[in-house]
């Protein structure tokens, strides 16, 4: 069931319609966004599942693939994938267990750990990336160029509005 069809969503929309100062359509927009995000996450998850990759693990492979042959520090990798250091450590543990990445300590500063793709990681990165891109093409196929620009502009405005609550 979509969230917008739930009793909670119907109640929120009814309250927004009944109370002064609230816009039910804005509420519906956010609820539809939640449903869309859930569907997009599910599509990406199905695409990455045969490769035994989470979204974060896939992002790590993409970053490492783009930097090949240079290694990157684990802390920098966390920044480039927009996650915490603990999240990147867990992702790297899983990728290393699958033999997709290697980690080596810096010889001068043992606190620094460098990460690079293994041969198996290189072999997986390209087909997984191409499948991801095919999925992106498929889920956006009903949006022409004009609609894409409108959606992007709308997201920019939503992000601007949400930024006040993120800090």
Question: Are 133 and 160 in a shared domain?
Answer: yes
pLDDT the model gives residue 167: 61
Question: Are 133 and 58 in a shared domain?
Answer: yes
pLDDT the model gives residue 85: 93
Q: How many domains does the chain have?
A: 2
Question: Are 142 and 96 in a shared domain?
Answer: yes
- For residues 67 and 91, what is the distance between their CA atoms, to the nearest angstrom? 18
pLDDT the model gives residue 165: 83
pTM over 0.75: yes
Question: Are 85 and 40 in a shared domain?
Answer: no
Task: Please spell the DSSP secondary structure of 114-125, one letter per residue.
Answer: EEEE-HHHHHHH
- For residues 109 and 7, what is the distance between their CA atoms, to the nearest angstrom? 56
Residues spanned by the domain of 16: 1-51
Question: Are 104 and 120 in a shared domain?
Answer: yes
Strands (E), 27-154: 72-73, 101-105, 113-117
Within 10 angstroms of residue 100's Cβ, the number of other Cβ atoms is 25
pLDDT the model gives residue 111: 84
pLDDT the model gives residue 102: 96
Question: Are 38 and 68 in a shared domain?
Answer: no
Decide: 61 and 128 in contact? Cβ < 8 Å.
yes
Counting as low any pLDDT under 50, the low residues of the chain are none
Question: Are 84 and 137 in a shared domain?
Answer: yes
Question: Are 143 and 89 in a shared domain?
Answer: yes
Question: Are 72 and 44 in a shared domain?
Answer: no
Q: Residue 129, SS3?
A: helix
Q: How far is CA 30 from CA 8, 38, 119, in A?
A: 13, 12, 43
Decide: 49 and 41 in contact? Cβ < 8 Å.
no
Decide: 91 and 54 in contact? Cβ < 8 Å.
yes
Structure confidence by residue, pLDDT tens digits, 27-75: 999 999 999 999 999 999 999 999 999 999 999 999 999 999 999 999 9
pLDDT the model gives residue 103: 94
């Amino acid at each position: 069931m979509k969230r917008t069809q739930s009793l909670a969503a119907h109640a929120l929309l009814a309250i927004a319609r009944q109370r002064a100062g609230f816009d039910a359509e804005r509420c519906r927009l956010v609820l539809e966004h939640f449903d869309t995000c859930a569907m997009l996450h599910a599509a990406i998850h199905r695409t990455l599942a045969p490769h035994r990759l989470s979204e974060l693990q896939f992002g790590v492979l993409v970053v490492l693939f783009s930097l090949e042959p240079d290694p990157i520090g684990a802390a920098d990798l966390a920044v480039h994938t927009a996650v915490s250091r603990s999240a990147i450590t867990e992702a790297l543990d899983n990728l290393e267990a699958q033999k997709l990445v290697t980690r080596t300590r810096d010889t001068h500063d043992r606190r620094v750990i460098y990460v690079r793709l293994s041969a198996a990681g290189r072999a997986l990165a390209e087909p997984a990336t191409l499948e991801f891109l095919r999925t992106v093409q498929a889920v956006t196929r009903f949006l022409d160029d004009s609609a894409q620009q409108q959606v992007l502009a709308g997201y920019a405005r939503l992000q601007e509005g949400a930024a006040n609550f993120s800090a």
